[in-house]
Amino acid sequence: MFTVYNQGKPFPLGATQYHEAQEVKNGKSFTNFALFSSAATAVELCLFDGQKETRLPMVCTDNIWHLAVLGAETGTEYGFRIHGEFANPQKLMLDPYAKAVNGKPDLSTPEAKSWFLLNDHRDNAALAPKAVVIDTQFDWTGDCAPNIPWANSIIYELHVKGFSKLNANIPEALRGTYAGLAHPTNLAYFKALGITAVELLPINFFIDEQHLQAKNLQNYWGYNPLAMFAVEPKYAATDNPLTEFKQMVKALHQAGIEVILDVVFNHTAESEKDFPTFSQRGIDDAHYYWQNAQGEYLNATGCGNTLNLATDAGCQWFIDCLRYWVEDCHVDGFRFDLATVLGRATPDFHAQATLFEKLASDPILQKVKLIAEPWDIGYGGYQVGQFPAYFAEWNDRFRDDMNRFWLWQSGALGAFAERFSGSSDLFAKNDRLPHTSLNFITAHDGFTLRDLVSYNTKHNEANGEENRDGRNENYSYNHGFEGNEIPSSEPNKSTIEQNRFITQASLLMTLLLANGTPMLLAGDEFGHSQQGNNNAYCQDNEITWLNWANFNQPLFNFTAQTIALRKQIASLTADRWWHNGNVQWLNIHGQPMEIANWQDSNTKAFQILLDNRYLLLINGKTVPQTFLLPNQFDWEVVLSSHDITCSSHHFETSDKTFCVLQVKDF
């Protein structure tokens, strides 16, 4: 039975349980509920005991509706009915601060989705997702954040389910779960590989888009959020997803691994204006979404709506959410999807946006890693290098320039050098350091590394969009055969496989030995393929799940060796811009690069001397080349993507080779 305790408090927003002796009545705890809505003329708190619904009118203070209730114990489902000019109290609204949610809406047919339309006047409480009152307490005794310096960070992007779903070394009941990710087998794997942080694709509560439900497909990546404070339950092996998630974080921390969350604060699952409504649109549409003077949504995301984080309510929701994940769940950072939206203040992008200022002044959030995907599809959406200095940014210029160099005909040595040295043309301003260039060759969106060397074109037919979706500019090369699996009848199979290995190795060395912060896509280190699908957002199946049965041990060993080498090179761990004192750019004859050398796109080769100790030989041509090395040192090979031969100070590299030498007996 639910009864009113008192009017409650406007803050904190959401549902908050109180157990302290001085705040209970007749030995019972109470729960405070608070919701922002400037559009509502009245709000009813709806509490559920099975099918029975109790409606309690809420009190308003400065657009915050609040009420304290007895009987709303852990496990109680709740929602809100909003009254007002543009509201529909027949539709149950989900708390934007919900820390757990029961139920995902069926949108597979026009009839099913009509129950969630604001112009429909049937009561949908029996079908609507409901927030759940939960106990967030957890024993963090002994937990210690790794606090890896940016200069020592190596990010590993993975999907919680896909990472371990097919791993036979993980107990079957744990595969594809938070507990599975934290299994000792995986912790040992991360340590052997040498990465320092896992970046998890969205684990916030999300739903499948209606066009996917109609095709019997699922949103695999999770970029369709409905409740940003809530843990996605389908990745849990237990009936307590939040506790399991926290146990995962604690276990990763004990292994010295940081946890970074990929979060979506650019749009929500409510999509277009006339699509199903579940939460913010029905609570306060004008405050939560960018709209023009006619009330039409501005769509800078391609997902039907754009969250307005420039309003006081939107900004507070954003900050409160991040602080919850840091303070209550101990995560170590965030990667922001389509992050240009964060700075849309007018709604054009502004690096001095209020939200950025609040982030800069927040003592909790300035202690964690913040990574921006610095673009969206709106006006002025491409903002690489324009974010505040405390952000690292995904550097797609690194990806494209390096892939064109190794896989296409590009001989742009200047572009290679610029990207490899940290992309100072983009980031060396406003006291920014090289770590702010987050370098990547592949990511969840696009080809895997194996597919990058196995396919000339995308193969997204399984997505049901006639292969129209996904990026067309992959800068890939199949090495003479289209497809990951080469049949034994192919006469050049062994040569093709060898060349693919060499190219993967050269790309991995380029990524992991460049100045800046490297991000490795999970599975690239052992040759995982998505069968040419470069937009596998809706493939929750063996296309995307890492195929551990086809583990390429030599490629894994090579990746781990390259990571270990990175950690030894001072110029890669100092987080400083390269200068004449620690780097020399040499042509293949061992002489300083001159303008003519930089402009010679046919040579497609040069040398980089780092710290007067390490010599990097780059040969991007499809033929062997001979390098004359600086003769003031004696050299030995440390690591090479392919065979080299040497005689005195002459080294002959094979085609498309990246080789690292070091001074003997340094």
Residue with tokens 């583990």: 551
In tens, the pLDDT along 111-125 reads 999 999 999 999 999
**Residue-level pLDDT at 260:** 99
The question of whether 348 is a catalytic residue gets the answer no
In this prediction, residues 435-452 reach a mean pLDDT of 98
**DSSP H helical segments within 567-594, as ranges?**
570-573
Could you tell me the maximum CA-CA distance found in the chain, to the nearest angstrom?
A: 89
Q: How far apart are CA 378 and CA 374, in angstroms?
A: 12
> In a 3-state reduction of DSSP, which class is residue 57?
strand
- For the stretch 547-577, pLDDT in tens is 999 999 999 999 999 999 999 999 999 999 9
CA dist., res. 307 & res. 290, Å (int): 6
Q: Which of 44, 77, 244, 337 is catalytic?
A: 337
How far are the Cα atoms of 399, 500, 656 from residue 474, in angstroms, in the given order?
10, 16, 19
> Do the strands 77-83 and 130-132 form a parallel or antiparallel pair, or are they unpaired?
antiparallel
> How far is Cα 624 from Cα 643, in angstroms, rounded to an integer?
10
The three-state DSSP-derived secondary structure of 196-219 is CEEEECCCEEECCCHHHHHCCCCC
Distance CA 167, CA 165 (A): 6
Distance between CA atoms of residues 634 and 268, nearest Å: 59
Query: Which H/E stretch holds residue 586?
Result: strand 583-586
Locus of tokens 């020399």: 584
CB 660 within 8 A of CB 614: yes
CA–CA dist 421, 577 (Å, integer): 7
Q: What is the pLDDT of residue 648?
A: 57
The one-letter code for the residue type at 214 is: A
Q: Band the pLDDT of 109: cuts 50, 70, 90.
A: very high
> Which of 645, 647, 641 lies closest to 660, judged by CA?
641
Respond yes or no: is residue 373 known to be catalytic.
Answer: yes
Print burial letters for 628-647: b (CB count within 10 Å at least 16), e (below 16): bbbeebebeebbbbbebeee
Confidence of residue 644 (pLDDT cuts 50, 70, 90): confident
The predicted-structure confidence for 400-414, as pLDDT tens digits, reads as follows 999 999 999 899 999
Neighbours of 227 (CB within 10 A): 26
Place 649 in a pLDDT band, splitting at 50, 70 and 90: confident
Residue indicated by tokens 């004859």: 589
Identified catalytic residue from 373, 401, 524, 525? 373
